[in-house]
């Protein structure tokens, strides 16, 4: 990939170098620059913020989200979410009721049909990992893309973190799309992928309940390239967890293309990695990013709770 520039030195540096023996490219990603500089210049009225990754991640400070925040503060937090794609709040005092109350300020909350919840608040998925319960979220994905209407976003609260490990990584899927060459963009812009809950959650369903669950959660068809409903930007919207195949494409061709597109999330320059502390809250735009929860802390305990906000049908 190359970028047009009037500076010869910058033009030389902006050329990606292909290493054919290994099928990889190295070198700068010049398309990160504009967004990185935009985020660096943002200012806020009700809190301070600093960018974390090049184009994704912002840490907000000077605010407690467990309080009854005015509408104009909530509106500014929502704008920060759209800009940074993932926002981090450190050192929060938050019980389960306050967690639900905060997430509800951004929309109605969904109840997950396959994951255990907080006993008091069914809107909170509870990820309680230990020596007896392993973590299986260590793959790049957006949440519940197998729904007709997937999540707008998720608010994840660290209840108990291990002494080391257990980080969560996030990838900017706008940037992942922008990095594709023009021929690939043209090829995929009008394609649709089939999403299927059973690829991850089917193994836990009794045989006599599978037909009923399929009626409740049929295969859904979402665009491979989604347009964000609030920013208007295009992004890659496929993942290995929930995508079965590309609609209307031969199996081998579909698998090869999906594998290539999903590998875009592996690019470290498009990511940031959050190291958790007890009391942290991370709010991500599930329409714009994918995430990966590392599973490197077993058999230590890691307890997280997540509220997910109902979104809109991808287009």
Please identify which of the residues 99, 141, 226, 287 carries the catalytic annotation: 141
3-state secondary structure the chain: CCCCCCCHHHHHHCCCEEECCCCEEECCCCCHHHHHHHHHCCCCCCCEEEECCCCCCEEEECCCCCCCCCHHHHHHHHHHHHHHCEEEECCCCCCHHHHHHHHHCCCCECCCCCCCECCCCCCEEEEEECCCCCCCCCCCECCCCCCCCCEEEEEEEEEECCCCCCCEEEEEHHHHHHCCCHHHHHHHCCCEEEECCHHHHHHHCCHHHHHHHHHHCCCEEEECEEECCCCCCEEECCCCCCEEEECCCCHHHHHHHHHHHHHHHHCHHHEEEECCCCCCEEEEECCCEEEEECCCCCCCCEEEEEEEEECCCCC
Exactly one of 228, 245, 274, 306 is catalytic; name it: 306
Q: Catalytic: which of 78, 226, 245, 291?
A: 291
Catalytic residue among 83, 143, 196, 285: 143
Q: Is 141 a catalytic residue?
A: yes
User: Is 31 a catalytic site residue?
Assistant: no
**Is 143 among the catalytic positions?**
yes
Told to judge if 306 belongs to the known catalytic residues of this protein, a careful annotator would answer yes
User: Which residue numbers are catalytic?
Assistant: 141, 143, 291, 306
């Amino acid at each position: 990939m190359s970028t047009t520039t009037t500076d010869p030195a910058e033009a030389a540096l902006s050329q990606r170098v292909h290493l054919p023996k290994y099928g990889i490219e190295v070198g700068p990603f010049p398309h990160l620059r504009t967004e990185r500089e935009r985020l660096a210049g943002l200012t806020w009225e009700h809190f301070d913020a600093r960018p974390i990754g090049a184009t994704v991640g912002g840490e907000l400070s000077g605010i407690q989200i467990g309080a009854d925040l005015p509408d104009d503060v909530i509106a500014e937090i929502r704008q920060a979410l759209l800009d940074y794609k993932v926002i981090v709040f450190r050192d929060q005092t938050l019980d389960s009721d306050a967690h639900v109350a905060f997430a509800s300020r951004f929309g109605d909350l969904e109840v997950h049909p396959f994951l255990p919840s907080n006993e008091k608040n069914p809107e909170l998925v509870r990820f309680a990992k230990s020596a007896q319960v392993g973590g299986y979220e260590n793959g790049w994905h957006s949440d519940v893309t197998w729904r007709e209407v997937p999540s707008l976003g998720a608010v994840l609260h660290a209840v108990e973190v291990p002494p080391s490990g257990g980080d969560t990584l996030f990838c900017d899927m706008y940037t992942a799309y922008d990095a594709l060459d023009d021929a690939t963009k043209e090829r995929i812009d009008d394609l649709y992928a089939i999403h299927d809950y059973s690829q991850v959650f089917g193994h836990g369903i009794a045989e006599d309940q599978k037909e009923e669950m399929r009626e409740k959660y049929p295969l859904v068809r979402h665009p491979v390239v989604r347009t964000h409903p609030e920013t208007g930007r295009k992004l890659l919207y496929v993942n290995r967890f929930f995508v079965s195949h590309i609609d209307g494409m031969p199996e081998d061709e579909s698998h090869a293309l999906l594998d290539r597109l999903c590998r875009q999330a592996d690019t470290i320059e498009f990511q940031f990695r959050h190291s958790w502390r007890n009391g942290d809250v991370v709010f991500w735009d599930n329409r714009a990013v994918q995430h990966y929860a590392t599973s490197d802390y077993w058999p230590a305990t890691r307890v997280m709770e997540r509220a997910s906000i109902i979104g809109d049908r991808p287009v």
